[in-house]
Amino acid sequence: MNSKLGSERALTARRWVARAVAVLVLGGLIAAVGVARAEEDPFAAGVDALAVKEGDGSASLRAKLKLTKMEPDMLVLQVQALDDSAYPDCVVTAKVLMAAEAQDKAFRLIAAGKTYRFVPLLKRGKGRVVDLKDAATQSNLGACYYPKGTRLVAKVTGTDFKTKTFQVAALYLKP
């Protein structure tokens, strides 16, 4: 009976060893396939795989222009609402946080604390096609994407009394 018990234990031990070896071999195969798969998968490298070289692919339309100093014809605005129903042209409804120092007729109509409508101007080429190479146009196209509460600096160039809007030549993110 002792020998039968010993042989059953030996058989059980051999089974466990065989199972452990099978698991190790299977694990090694899975790991090898995973490494090979990672070499094929462009997203296996994580965020670095999505990096684009400078000048390749698309670029952000927002904040292309850098504000160097405030000029007398500039206002500080806070976005209240956007109307982009005529995209790429849009109307930004914004509260004036700081009025312009200029005393032209257009600027005398604008008071701090009040809300007005502003239309960022887009440079257009033949056939009214938007010129995407113009830096001011790129920045002004971004106006359609600013969320409510965004602070902007706007360079106002005129008024359109027919549509009751102020025309903006350039938009800058408020630093």
Would the CA dihedral through 49, 55, 58, 64 be positive or negative? positive
Measure the CA–CA gap between 7 and 15, rounded to whole angstroms.
Answer: 12
pLDDT confidence band for 35 (50 / 70 / 90)? low
pLDDT tens per residue across span 62-120: 545 677 778 888 889 999 999 888 888 889 999 999 888 777 777 777 888 999 899 98
Does 88 or 53 have the greater pLDDT score? 88
pLDDT tens per residue across span 115-155: 989 998 888 888 778 888 888 888 888 888 888 998 998 88
Q: To which H or E segment does residue 93 belong? A: strand 91-98
- What are the residue boundaries of the structural domains of the chain, listed by start? 2-50, 74-173
pLDDT at 79: 92
Measure the CA–CA gap between 47 and 130, rounded to whole angstroms.
Answer: 33
CB 146 within 8 A of CB 82: yes
Q: Burial level of 61, CB count in 10 A (0-12/13-18/19+)?
A: middle
C-alpha 58, offset from chain centre: 11
The third-level CATH classification (topology) of the domain covering 74-173 is: OB fold (Dihydrolipoamide Acetyltransferase, E2P) (2.40.50)
Is residue 10's pLDDT more than 80? no
pLDDT at 142: 82
pTM of the predicted protein model: 0.60
